[in-house]
């Protein structure tokens, strides 16, 4: 959020140099906030990885274990036919596809057509809205 500061980054960096493990909730690049998009934790994670020469352990998307855990939580085996529906090209769509699920992209929230065109990511399905699921 807005309270994030250089001081917090420096503190995390100092801990990493002392041997701490970098654990990230995600690698999301940005999120939808009001009428705009705002930096998410991914750019900060990338900066700490670069500065410390250490790779973060990602607990959430796009880690394949996150998707496997979601399936298991629903009582479904790994590899069960399923789709991740979301507005993030990298974490939702590409992450799901790397984990063996379908990745469906919704053209709402933080979706930007230009980013889709430039990303090289091909969603399994493109939805104008989540309401399209009823059709």
The model's pLDDT over 63-78, given as tens digits with 9 standing for 90+, comes to 999 999 999 999 999 8
pTM: 0.84
Q: 57 - beta bridge partners?
A: 23
* Tens of pLDDT, residues 12-55: 999 999 999 999 999 999 988 888 888 999 999 999 999 999 99
Same fold yes or no, 6-58 and 64-134: yes
- 64-134, CATH topology level: Rossmann fold (3.40.50)
Fold of 6-58: Rossmann fold (3.40.50)
pLDDT given at position 1: 67
Residues 6+ apart with CB under 8 A from 19: none
pLDDT average, residue stretch 83-96 = 95
Q: What CA–CA distances, in Å, run from 76 to 73, 82, 103, 108?
A: 7, 9, 17, 28
The pair of three-digit structure tokens given for residue 119, joined into one six-digit string: 């990303």
């Amino acid at each position: 959020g807005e309270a994030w500061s250089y001081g917090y980054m420096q503190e995390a960096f100092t801990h990493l140099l002392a041997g701490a493990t970098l654990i990230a909730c995600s690698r999301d690049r940005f999120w939808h906030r009001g009428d705009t998009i705002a930096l998410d934790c991914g750019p900060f994670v990338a900066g700490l990885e670069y500065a410390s020469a250490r790779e973060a352990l990602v607990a959430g998307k796009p880690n394949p274990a996150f998707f496997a855990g979601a399936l298991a939580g629903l009582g479904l085996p790994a590899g069960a036919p399923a789709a991740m529906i979301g507005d993030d090209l990298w974490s939702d769509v590409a992450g799901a596809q790397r984990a063996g699920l379908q990745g469906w992209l919704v053209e709402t929230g933080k979706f930007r057509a230009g980013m889709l065109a430039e990303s090289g990511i091909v969603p399994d399905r493109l939805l104008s809205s989540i309401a399209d699921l009823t059709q």
